[in-house]
Amino acid sequence: MFSIEQIEEAHSKVKSGADFPGYIQDLKVLGVTNYETFVTDGRTTYYGVNDLNIESPAKHKGLHVADVSNETQFRSDLKAHQQGKTDYATFCNDCARSGIEKWEVRIDQMICIYYDMSGKKILIEVIPHRD
- Spell out the per-residue pLDDT of the chain, length 131, in tens: 899 999 999 988 887 777 888 899 999 999 999 999 999 999 999 999 888 999 999 988 889 999 999 999 999 999 998 888 988 889 999 999 999 999 999 999 999 999 999 999 999 999 887 55
Q: What is the pLDDT of residue 128?
A: 80
- Laid out side by side, the sheet with 53-55 consists of 53-55, 44-48, 32-38, 100-106, 111-116, 121-126
Query: 0.95 exceeded by the pTM?
Result: no
Q: What domains lie within the chain, and their CATH numbers?
A: 4-51+62-126 (3.30.1810.10)
**71 alpha-carbon distance from chain centroid:** 17
Q: What is the pLDDT of residue 87?
A: 85
